[in-house]
Amino acid sequence: MTSGSTKRTPVGTLAAGPGGASMTRALVRTPSLEDADRLREFVCRLSPQSRYFRFFASVAPPSTSLLRTLSGANGTADILLATDSCGAVIGHAMAADARVAGRLESNIGLVIADDWQGRGLGTGLLSLLVSRAAARGVSTLVLDVLPANDRMRGIITRRWPDAPVERTRDAIIIRPSIGPAAFRGGLRAPERSAA
Ligand SMILES: CC(C)(COP(=O)(O)OP(=O)(O)OC[C@H]1O[C@@H](n2cnc3c(N)ncnc32)[C@H](O)[C@@H]1OP(=O)(O)O)[C@@H](O)C(=O)NCCC(=O)NCCS
């Protein structure tokens, strides 16, 4: 795992926007413990619906414990932040691995700032997260989605149409299998720089 440190590691850049000259770039990096204030601002700026879709609860202002989790202070998850040209956090993606019956599963959480949604950033971060999970040997993703979250359900269904779906009282849990294909770029590849 690359999180849970005082050191930020650049991962690359993602192009975001409708295409052509209107594209902008977001920097993708791992978080450091110094990102707590940026993450607090990011969570507080999310719309109530985005917060609810991601955290299944009202989490603004975020607790110290949530901020520690989001900034990787626990060091148990792979976390990616997308930042804008001013350094503000505009996207957060995390994959928390667990060994279940001898196999590595990874629980995925993803949220994009409201004014950046629908510009390709979420699917770009998801692709990066899945590639990194596959490289760690993760064989199954676990995605908890609220039934009303059509956008995320669509993203998952289009990428993993055959993934097993479990319905709980409140949520839908989808468990796509991933493997070497995801690592080799079986998902739509994000634009990446060497930085
Ligand atoms: C879900 C979320 C992470 C997606 O990120 P994003 O940057 O908005 O998504 P992208 O622009 O990369 O992709 C948009 C996708 O949604 C689809 N889409 C857009 N509007 C949609 C809608 N109203 N209903 C269904 N699908 C929709 C697009 O076709 C595209 O899918 P495709 O790549 O398979 O064609 C983001 O919208 C978000 O943060 N939502 C709130 C938090 C959340 O729901 N997190 C997921 C919890 S599991």
Q: What are phi and psi of 28, to 5 degrees?
A: -115, 130
- Is residue 131 in a domain? yes
- Is residue 191 in a domain? no
Mutate to test the pocket of ligand 1, among 151, 153, 170, 188 (most ligand atoms within 8 A of CB): 151
Write down the pLDDT at residue 147. 97
- Is residue 195 in a domain? no
Q: What is the CATH number of the domain that holds 126?
A: 3.40.630.30
Write down the pLDDT at residue 180. 65
The b-or-e profile of 10-34 (16+ CB within 10 A means b, else e) is ebbbbbbbeeeeeeebbbbbbbbbe
Residue with tokens 């932040």: 81
1-15, 39-53, 75-89, 149-163: range with lowest mean pLDDT: 1-15
- Is residue 138 in a domain? yes
**DSSP notation for 109-129:** EEEE-GGGTTSSHHHHHHHHH
- Is residue 42 in a domain? yes
Q: How many separate helices (H) and strands (E) can be counted in the chain?
A: 6, 8
The answer, yes or no, to whether residue 183 has pLDDT greater than 80, is: no
pLDDT-based confidence at 179, cuts 50/70/90?
confident
Instruction: Ligand 1, residue 116: give the atom nearest the CA.
Output: 7
Write down the pLDDT at residue 1. 54
Write down the pLDDT at residue 184. 45
The mean predicted confidence, pLDDT, of the chain is: 89
Q: How many domains does the chain have?
A: 1
How many other CB atoms are found less than 10 A from the CB of residue 146? 16
The answer, yes or no, to whether residue 186 has pLDDT greater than 80, is: no
Domain range holding 76?
10-183
Could you tell me the two tokens for 47? 């719309």
- Is residue 102 in a domain? yes
- Is residue 4 in a domain? no
Q: Atom 18 (ligand 1): residue with closest C-alpha?
A: 151
Per-residue pLDDT tens digits for 102-124: 999 999 999 999 999 999 999 99
- Is residue 2 in a domain? no
Write down the pLDDT at residue 50. 98
